């Protein structure tokens, strides 16, 4: 399946000069959504993963069904103040500032093997933040998966440098 047919280009969003790549047409199509989840599952079927870590909100849309398909646990990563139990957190750099991600402190064990999953890999800041959050728990990162990668923003190299080799179903250069 050509997933590019299900990614809508929206110019000048969220601000002038930015091209936004909208994945909601993938979500709208049961065929495209199933394909994306199945394709990620196939790529990681022999990875030995025990948990999937994904950030809100769009990472949840692919990470949760993938965890179900792979019969492994799903760990939500959220912004500060959104998780009800004791949290660990990491603050990471973005292109224009910093951001913080939080995860329940008991979400991962040292023997967990973790996949980072998200809808889209752009500059890699959020995904690399998730890698650091996982590494801080002592769990092992075994890879990362994305439905779409914006190759021209070099997030793939950021993920390789962070120790989470990326696999993307669609790369837009």
May I ask the CATH architecture of the domain 39-172? 3-Layer(aba) Sandwich (3.40)
**pLDDT recorded at residue 27:** 98
**pLDDT recorded at residue 65:** 98
**pLDDT recorded at residue 111:** 97
Q: What is the value of pTM for the model shown?
A: 0.95
**pLDDT recorded at residue 135:** 97
Q: What is the 3-state secondary structure (H, E, C) of the chain?
A: CCHHHHCEEEECCCCCCCEEEECHHHHHCHHHHHHHHHHHHHHHCCCCCCEEEEECCHHHHHHHHHHHHHCCEEEEEECCCCCCCCEEEEEEEECCEEEEEEEECCCCCCCCEEEEEEEEECCCHHHHHHHHHHHHHCCEEEEEEEEEEEHHHCHHHHHHHHCCCEEEEEEEC
Which residues are known to be catalytic? 58, 95
**pLDDT recorded at residue 92:** 85
Q: How many CA atoms lie within 13 A of 49 on its CB side?
A: 32
Tokens 């601000």: give the residue: 15
Edge-to-edge strands, sheet with 140-150? 73-77, 51-55, 113-121, 140-150, 166-172
Q: Which residues contact 81 (CB under 8 A, 6 or more apart)?
A: none
**pLDDT recorded at residue 95:** 67
**pLDDT recorded at residue 94:** 74
Residue ranges in the chain whose pLDDT is less than 70: 95
């Amino acid at each position: 399946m050509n997933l590019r047919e299900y990614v809508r280009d929206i110019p000048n969003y969220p601000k002038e000069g930015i091209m936004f790549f909208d994945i909601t047409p993938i979500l709208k199509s049961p065929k495209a959504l199933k394909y994306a989840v199945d394709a990620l599952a196939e790529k990681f079927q022999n990875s030995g993963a025990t948990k999937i870590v994904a950030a809100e909100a769009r990472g949840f849309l692919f990470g949760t069904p993938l965890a179900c398909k792979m019969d492994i646990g799903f760990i939500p990563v959220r912004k500060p103040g959104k998780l009800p139990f004791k949290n660990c957190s990491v603050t990471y750099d973005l292109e224009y500032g910093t951001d913080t991600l939080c995860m329940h402190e008991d979400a991962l064990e040292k023997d967990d093997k973790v996949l980072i999953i998200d809808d889209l890999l752009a500059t890699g800041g959020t995904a690399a933040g998730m890698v650091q959050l996982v590494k801080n728990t002592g769990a092992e990162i075994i890879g990362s998966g994305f439905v779409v990668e914006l190759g021209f923003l070099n997030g793939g190299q950021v993920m390789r440098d962070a120790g989470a080799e990326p696999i993307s179903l669609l790369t837009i250069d």
